[in-house]
Amino acid sequence: MSAAEKAARPFDLVVYGATGFTGGLVADYLMRTMPEGGSWALAGRSREKLDAVAARLAEARPDAPAPGIVLADTENPASLEAMARQTRVVLTTVGPYLEYGEPLVAACVAAGTDYVDLTGEPEFVDRMYLEYHEAAVASGARLVHACGFDSIPHDLGVYYTMKQVPEGVPVAVYGAVHSNAQFSGGTFHSAIGQFARLREAGATARERRKQEGRPEGRRVKAAPTKPHHDATLNRWLVPLPTIDPQIVLRSAAALESYGPDFSYAHYASVGSPVTATVGMVGVGAIAAGSRVPFLRSQMLKRIDRGQGPSESRRARSSFTVTFVAIAGGRKIITRVSGGDPGYTETSMMIAESAMCLAFDDLPPLAGQLTTARAMGDALLERVERGGLTFEVLSA
Ligand SMILES: NC(=O)c1ccc[n+]([C@@H]2O[C@H](COP(=O)([O-])OP(=O)(O)OC[C@H]3O[C@@H](n4cnc5c(N)ncnc54)[C@H](OP(=O)(O)O)[C@@H]3O)[C@@H](O)[C@H]2O)c1
């Protein structure tokens, strides 16, 4: 795919899933922030629902240019490929990604189109690496998963922290996440789907490790974790097995600037040992229940897809991720913070990621990439302008 051919496409970016809860927030954000001359489109499988989103946007911003409309259904691969060939970047909020994601990745790889998503599903990311990384390198497509709360604050938070530590020395970093937010139906369904497939996810991860190998001449590893009281932060820390530490370690493996010997550990930060215990027991019970088909269907009935926290609930939500880096005899503490992590900030982060790929001057890379590797400083500046705070608390 030549650069001229790609530049001639009608859209800079397309929002696939614009009729969903998060996709609707992404569309609102782009309507406010798309640069002059930028062209974009709302995409989904229902013309009627897409027209309703377009009408809502036009009412809120009658002065802004209207986005285009593209019909594409995950069940119809030709419609996905036609969509991928009309744009330079596809932003997708159609999840759970393990259920719906692969045909779109395949279409973007075939069309040499850049791709961003909101997955927090490690098995999906590993499967896409195994199936499409090499083909994406060949076609020039950048596949950047986890462009929401999973995992931008963590990936760019560690990237920012590494700018504060002395160069060329071993570094041990741990991150501690705290939030008071609520999740949507789509996120709940994705989480239950993942819990039900932990065995398959483990096998795919092992296969990936075999194929990907390790960085040459440098050590990058996950540090062992256990629940404990952390004297530096004066908080109880509980191991948090999300996709975030995997993404951080992938960035560390790809970026020499993370030094000769890098380790990372990831935790939830809570105020008391009772909260820590209740949280671990609750998540353990949901994970165990997800593997029993009857219990799984009962849990999924409790929250419908398409629903999420109200605007007033989101306005009361916030998050912090605090990082402690121990390097060269120093302890450096940094923090990333923002408002409602799952939706308000997530829609900003994925929209900024898509605009970053579409409009910024970035390293000439292709294949599956993390946000820090693909976009680094350019995305850091964008999400800071979008409202996240990155700060050094102690150096
Ligand atoms: N990692 C994070 O930080 C984070 C944060 C927020 C959300 N998420 C993830 O984002 C995803 C979306 O969440 P949500 O709450 O926005 O979900 P949602 O409201 O249920 O929206 C899902 C979207 O997918 C579309 N869709 C479903 N099946 C389709 C198909 N066959 N073809 C085309 N489109 C189809 C739906 O279209 P219709 O309207 O036509 O049904 C809708 O637009 C979930 O996987 C969630 O886990 C992740």
CATH code at 119?
3.40.50.720
The answer to whether residues 221 and 205 belong to one domain is yes
Q: Which residue has the higher pLDDT, 273 or 69?
A: 69
CB atoms within 10 A of CB 169: 14
pLDDT at 283 over 70: no
For residue 193, report the distance from its CA to the centre of ligand 1, in Å: 14
The answer to whether residues 233 and 325 belong to one domain is yes
pLDDT at 255 over 70: yes
For residue 384, report the distance from its CA to the centre of ligand 1, in Å: 26
For residue 376, report the distance from its CA to the centre of ligand 1, in Å: 26
Residue of 15, 16, 19 to mutate, ligand 1, most atoms within 8 A of C-beta: 19
pLDDT at 129: 98
> What value does the mean pLDDT take over residues 51-66?
95
Alpha helices in 85-184 (DSSP H): 97-100, 102-111, 122-139, 152-162
The answer to whether residues 227 and 143 belong to one domain is no
pLDDT at 286: 60
What is the spatial distance between Cα 245 and Cα 268, in angstroms, rounded to a whole number? Answer: 12
The answer to whether residues 173 and 308 belong to one domain is yes
pLDDT band at 305 (very low <50, low <70, confident <90, very high): low
pLDDT at 303 over 90: no
Most trustworthy range by pLDDT among 184-188, 257-261, 272-276: 257-261
DSSP state of 15: E
The answer to whether residues 208 and 116 belong to one domain is no
pLDDT at 285: 61
Write down the mean pLDDT value for the chain. 91
For residue 24, report the distance from its CA to the centre of ligand 1, in Å: 10
pLDDT at 29 over 90: yes
The answer to whether residues 217 and 288 belong to one domain is yes
Q: What is the largest CA-CA distance in the chain?
A: 61
The model's pLDDT over 193-242, given as tens digits with 9 standing for 90+, comes to: 666 778 889 999 999 999 998 899 999 999 999 999 999 999 999 998 88
Length of the chain: 395
Its pTM stands at 0.93
Cα-Cα-Cα-Cα torsion 9, 15, 16, 17, nearest 10 degrees, comes to -160
103 lines ligand 1 (CB under 6 A): no
> What value does the mean pLDDT take over residues 300-324?
81
The answer to whether residues 267 and 161 belong to one domain is yes
The answer to whether residues 171 and 250 belong to one domain is yes
Nearest to 179 by CA among 259, 279, 68, 106: 279
The answer to whether residues 295 and 353 belong to one domain is no
pLDDT at 19: 96
The answer to whether residues 173 and 273 belong to one domain is yes
pLDDT at 275 over 80: no
Q: What percent of the chain has pLDDT over 70?
A: 88
49 lines ligand 1 (CB under 6 A): yes
Residue nearest to atom 47 of ligand 1 (CA): 187
What is the spatial distance between Cα 382 and Cα 267, in angstroms, rounded to a whole number? Answer: 26
188 lines ligand 1 (CB under 6 A): no
Where residue 274 sits, what CATH number does that domain have? 3.30.360
309 lines ligand 1 (CB under 6 A): no
**Lowest-confidence range among 111-125, 285-299, 364-378?**
285-299
> What value does the mean pLDDT take over residues 123-127?
97
CB atoms within 10 A of CB 359: 18
Owning domain of residue 330: 152-341+388-394
State which ligand 1 atom lies nearest to the alpha carbon of 23.
Answer: 16
Place of tokens 């400083």: 377
The answer to whether residues 316 and 361 belong to one domain is no
Residue nearest to atom 6 of ligand 1 (CA): 342
Q: How many domains does the chain have?
A: 2
The model's pLDDT over 153-169, given as tens digits with 9 standing for 90+, comes to: 999 999 999 999 999 99
